[in-house]
């Protein structure tokens, strides 16, 4: 096997598109997902199916992970029948899940002890960025390993940066999520204000989305809100997980982040309302309810 033999674990909303770019480029890809039907599109395009993480490791020299929660990553990497039980020396494990910096460090240590290497490489850009191969990819790890994996990253993203040693990619993603958390409150409140003022929300986004208030969230998720489209580009349940990690890291650093804490409370309320499987833009529905707004039309 060569480094061109790729494994991919996690074929959800973003993982399926990201893996698809590697297949399209002509690479041999071995995939595993807990729900096989979510890998059906990749299998139809020529991916090989493996019956678990260890089976992926035995057939691949570089393995990408795109999972939901840190515990999923830990189980796949170091649990029974995990990657590190079966990977050959020299294998590279690339975790693109948004996870904890501490876990990234542990994976680096475990992989090194097994004669392997690892990178933490979380991404930003949502489902549209995954489909369009325009993701931002924030990487932590050794520079020589990053250089080996960079050609694959370039098939999935446009803004790719080695941020430092193991864990630095996850710390960068936490900064990203902190910014998005506060921004999403602003997006939702802005659109609610516009709605109550009787403005055309599409026109509102056209104007404010090009000025000083311009941001990815208003120009992309704001338009989904206007269309009553609350399906996930990024699940609320995963965003709550990310904010929880960021708050935990902030406490460890004796850092007070009240804006993040407020956003975390609002999104926890969204989960209590049964919206955990919806996209982050579904915060709008929580704010509608708080303001007694229902049955709106555009």
- Give the whole-angstrom CA distance, residue 95 versus residue 40: 22
Q: What's the CA angle centered on 81, arms 78 and 85, to 5 degrees?
A: 60
Asked if 264 and 244 touch (Cβ cutoff 8 Å), the reply is: yes
Asked if 54 and 86 touch (Cβ cutoff 8 Å), the reply is: yes
Strand pairing partners for 162? 139
Half-sphere exposure of 190 (CA within 13 A, CB side): 26
Asked if 261 and 247 touch (Cβ cutoff 8 Å), the reply is: yes
The closest of 63, 53, 54 to 5, measured between CA atoms, is 63
Query: Residue 283, Cβ neighbours under 10 Å: how many?
Result: 27
Under DSSP, the state recorded for 257 is -
- Give the whole-angstrom CA distance, residue 93 versus residue 107: 9
173 is catalytic: yes
The catalytic position among 24, 38, 45, 173 is: 173
- Give the whole-angstrom CA distance, residue 23 versus residue 67: 19
Tell the burial category of 265 from Cβ atoms under 10 Å away from its Cβ (0-12, 13-18, 19+). exposed
Active site residues: 173
């Amino acid at each position: 096997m060569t480094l061109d033999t790729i494994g991919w674990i996690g074929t959800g909303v973003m993982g399926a598109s990201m893996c698809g770019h590697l297949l399209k480029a002509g690479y041999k890809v071995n995939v595993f997902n807990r729900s096989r039907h979510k890998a059906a599109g990749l299998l139809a395009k020529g991916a090989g199916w493996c019956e678990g993480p260890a089976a992926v490791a035995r057939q691949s020299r570089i393995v990408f992970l795109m999972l939901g929660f840190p515990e999923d990553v830990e189980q796949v990497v170091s649990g029974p029948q995990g990657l590190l039980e079966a990977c050959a020396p020299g294998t590279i494990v690339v975790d693109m899940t948004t996870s904890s910096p501490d876990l990234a460090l542990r994976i680096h240590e475990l992989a090194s002890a097994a004669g392997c290497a690892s990178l933490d490489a979380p991404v930003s850009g949502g489902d549209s960025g995954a489909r369009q191969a325009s993701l931002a990819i924030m990487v932590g790890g050794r520079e020589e390993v990053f250089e080996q994996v960079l050609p694959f990253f370039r098939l999935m993203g446009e803004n790719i940066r080695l941020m430092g040693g193991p864990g630095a990619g996850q710390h960068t993603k936490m900064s990203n999520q902190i910014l998005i958390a506060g921004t999403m409150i602003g997006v939702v409140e802005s659109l609610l204000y516009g709605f109550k003022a009787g403005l055309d929300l599409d026109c509102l986004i056209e104007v404010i989305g090009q000025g000083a208030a311009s941001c990815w969230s208003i120009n992309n998720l704001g338009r989904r809100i206007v269309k009553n489209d609350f399906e996930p580009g990024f699940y609320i349940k995963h965003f709550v997980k990310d904010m929880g990690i960021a708050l935990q890291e902030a406490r460890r650093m004796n850092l007070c982040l009240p804006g993040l804490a407020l956003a975390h409370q609002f999104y926890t309320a969204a989960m209590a309302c049964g919206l955990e499987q919806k996209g982050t833009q579904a915060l709008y529905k929580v704010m509608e309810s708080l303001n007694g707004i229902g049955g709106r039309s555009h």
